[in-house]
A and B are shown apart, each in its own frame.
Chain A
Amino acid sequence: AQSVAQPEDQVNVAEGNPLTVKCTYSVSGNPYLFWYVQYPNRGLQFLLKYITGDNLVKGSYGFEAEFNKSQTSFHLKKPSALVSDSALYFCAVRPTDSWGKLQFGAGTQVVVTP
């Protein structure tokens, strides 16, 4: 069975500093990995995905994520955080045998202070 773990409930960072949100996964076969963001009173929005290829994936709003197969991780990163990046971030994995069933982590609340 596949699973996703986000070890931090909340990440606090000062504006302009680098931001990292951690995600580890467990899945049989090759993983399809995703990051979504949820702003207050808004729907979940797609940020980026890893399917295959380059381990460093670039996405929306200046975010990127690094796929590390040996550590089974897919950490989300942004070199310089903005106050507007404050939101709830979800890592998700899609099993290769069930295309519609995204398995989400519990989420990490990011708080960026001015």
Chain B
Amino acid sequence: GAGVSQTPSNKVTEKGKYVELRCDPISGHTALYWYRQSLGQGPEFLIYFQGTGAADDSGLPNDRFFAVRPEGSVSTLKIQRTERGDSAVYLCASSLTGTSGRANTGELFFGEGSRLTVL
């Protein structure tokens, strides 16, 4: 597709369950980012990938959160033993490159997000 695609758009789960959120970036974008947006707040950085590897995962709140990007394209954010506090909109973004330099315009292209509700 032309833009960043995220599935599911909405996910309702029960406390303690496992959840996977998927992101399909713009074709050719080597950098992929996950952010979390709680109600009334700005997006909060979670992790970003340059290719297949996590270049910075300092924003992951705890070890219940994990993300992969095995082939350098699609990424999956995995949340184990979900808690009510995990309820938020999870945003994915991609960019041409995640490194500094001329090729990086600095612009991130965001998907519409996956709204996670933990009951």
Interface residues of A (CB under 8 A from B): 4, 32, 34, 36, 41-46, 49, 51, 90, 92, 94, 96, 98-107
Contacts and interface: CB of A to CB of B under 8 A. Distances in A.
Contacts of B98: 99-100
Contacts of A99: 55, 98-100, 104
Contacts of A42: 112
B45 interface: yes
B106 A34 contact: yes
Contacts of B31: 100
A90 B35 CA distance: 14
Interface stretch (B13-21, B36-44, B65-73, B80-88): B36-44
Interface string B44-78: 11001010000110110000000000000000000
A51 B4 contact: no
Contact of B56 (A44, A90, A101): A101
Nearest to A109: B40
